[in-house]
Chains A and B, each alone.
Chain A
Amino acid sequence: MTKEYMLGNAAIARGIREAGVGVVSGYPGTPSSEIVDILRAQKDRDYYLEWSVNEKVAVEVAIGAAFAGARSIVTMKHVGLNVAADPLMTVCFAGTKGGLIILAADDPSFHSSQNEQDTRRYAQFAQIPCFDPATLQDAKDMIAYAFDFSERFETPVLFRPTTRISHGKSSIELGEIKPNANQADFVKDPSRMVMMPNFARPRHTASIERQKPMAEDLEKSPWNVLELCDDSEIGVISSGIASVYAKEALHALGINASFLKITAYPMPDNLILTLLRKCAKVLIVEELEPVVEEHVRILAQQNQITTEIIGKNPVPRVNELNFEICRDVMASVFTEQADSPARTVSNPPILPNIALPPRPPALCIGCSHRSAFQVIKEVFGKNAIFPSDIGCYTLGIHSGAVDTTICMGASISIASGIAHSGEKKAICCTIGDSTFLHTGVNSLMNAVYNNAKMTVAILDNRITAMTGHQPNPNTGSTAVGVDSLPVSLETICAAVGTRFIRAVDAYDYEALKIAFREAKNFDGVSVVIVQQACAIVARKAGVRRNPFAVLPEKCKGCRKCVNFGCPAIGFDKKDAVAVVNSQCIGCGVCAQICPFDAICEVKK
Chain B
Amino acid sequence: MSENKYFGSVPNAGKTDVKYDVVICGVGGQGAILASDILGRAAVAEGRAVQAAETHGMAQRGGSVENHVRIGSAYGSLIPKGGADLMIALEPAEAVRYAHLMKNGGVIIVNTEPVYPFTVTTGKAEYPDVDEMIEALSVSFSVKAFNASAAAKEAGGEQAANVVLIGAASHFIPLQEQTVIDCIKALVPPKFLEVNLKAFDSGKQSVSK
A residues near B (Cβ < 8 Å) are 3-5, 7, 30-31, 34, 111-112, 134-135, 137-138, 141, 164, 167-171, 173, 222, 225, 227, 229-231, 241, 243-245, 247-248, 250-251, 254-257, 259, 261, 322-324, 327, 345, 347-364, 392, 395, 398, 466-467, 559, 562-563, 565-567, 569-571
Q: Contact: B125 with A358, CB < 8 Å?
A: yes
Would you call A361 and B62 a contact (CB within 8 A)?
Answer: yes
Known: A359-B63, A361-B59. A254 touches B1 (CB 8 A): yes
Residues on the B chain within 8 Å of A327, using CB: 80
Select B1's contact among A168, A256, A565, beta carbons within 8 Å: A256
Are A562 and B54 neighbours in the complex by a CB distance under 8 Å?
Answer: no
Contact call B53/A323, Cβ cutoff below 8 A: no
CB <8 Å contact, B136 and A353: yes
**What would 18 more interface pairs be, CB under 8 Å, given A245-B76, A247-B7, A247-B75?**
A5-B41, A111-B59, A112-B58, A135-B9, A135-B10, A164-B77, A171-B50, A230-B2, A323-B78, A345-B81, A349-B82, A349-B105, A349-B140, A355-B126, A355-B128, A359-B119, A361-B62, A363-B61
Known interface pairs A137-B10, A359-B64, A562-B121; A229-B57 also in contact (CB < 8 Å): no
Judged by a CB distance under 8 angstroms, whether B207 is at the interface is no
Q: How far is B64's CA from A327's CA once the two chains are assembled, in angstroms? A: 27
* Cα distance, A347 to B105, chains bound together (Å): 10
Q: Is the CB of A466 within 8 A of B58?
A: yes
Do the beta carbons of B140 and A350 come within 8 Å of each other? yes
Q: Given A227-B4, A361-B59, do A352 and B27 touch, yes or no (CB 8 Å)?
A: no
A231 to B4, CA, bound (A): 12
A359-B81 Cα distance, complex, nearest whole Å: 21
**B117 on the A face (CB < 8 A):** yes
B141 within 8 Å of A (CB atoms): yes
Given contacts A5-B44, A323-B75, whether A256 and B2 have CB atoms under 8 Å apart is yes
Residue of B nearest to A324 (CB): B80
Chain B residues with CB under 8 Å of A169's CB are 36-37, 40, 50-54, 77
Least Cβ–Cβ distance between A247 and chain B, in angstroms? 7
> Do B118 and A354 touch across chains, with their CB atoms under 8 A apart?
no
Instruction: Please give the residue numbers on chain B whose beta carbons come within 8 Å of chain A beta carbons, in ascending order.
Output: 1-2, 4-10, 12-14, 27-28, 36-37, 40-41, 43-44, 49-64, 75-78, 80-82, 93-94, 96-97, 99-100, 102-106, 116-123, 125-128, 132-133, 136-137, 139-141
CB distance from A61 to the nearest CB of B (A): 25
- Which residues in A have their C-beta under 8 angstroms from that of B10? 135, 137
Smallest CB–CB gap between A367 and chain B, Å?
A: 9
Query: What residues of A have a CB within 8 angstroms of the CB of B60 in the complex?
Result: 361
B76 touches A173 (CB 8 A): no
Shortest Cβ distance from residue A325 to the other chain B in the assembled complex, whole angstroms? 10
Given contacts A169-B52, A227-B5, A356-B97, contact A350 B59 (CB under 8 A): no
From A5, A244, A247, A322, contact of B50 by CB (8 A): A5
Tell me the nearest residue of chain B to A567, going by C-beta. Answer: B118
Contacts of B132 in A (CB 8 A): 354
Contacts of B120 in A (CB 8 A): 357
Bound complex: CA A364 to CA B4 (Å): 49
B77 close to A5 (CB less than 8 A)? no
Q: How far is the CB of B152 from chain A (nearest CB, A)?
A: 14
CB distance from B158 to the nearest CB of A (A): 9
- Contacting residue for A244 out of B27, B49, B76, B103, CB 8 A: B76
**Across the interface, do B122 and A357 meet the contact criterion of CB distance under 8 Å?**
no
Instruction: Check B100–A351 contact: CB distance below 8 A.
Output: yes
Q: For residue A110, which residue of chain B has the nearest CB?
A: B58
CA distance A414 to B96 in the complex (A): 41
- With a cutoff of 8 Å between Cβ atoms, the chain A residues found around residue B122 in the complex are 562-563, 565
B63 adjacent to A360 (CB under 8 Å)? yes
Candidate in B54, B58, B81 with the most chain A CB atoms within 10 angstroms: B58
Max chain A C-beta neighbours (<10 A), residue from B1, B7, B53, B136:
B7
With both chains docked as a complex, state the minimum distance between the C-beta of B25 and any C-beta of chain A, in angstroms: 11
Q: Is the CB of B96 within 8 A of A356?
A: yes
Which residue among B5, B37, B122, B139 has the maximum number of chain A CB atoms within 10 Å of its CB? B122
Min CB–CB distance B41 → chain A (angstroms): 4
Interface core residue of B4, B53, B106, B125 (most chain A CB under 10 Å): B4
B118 partner residues in chain A, CB cutoff 8 A? 362, 398, 565-567
Which listed residue, B36, B63, B76, B123, touches A361 by the CB 8 Å rule?
Answer: B63
If A137-B13, A324-B80 touch, whether A354 touches B123 (CB-CB below 8 Å) is no
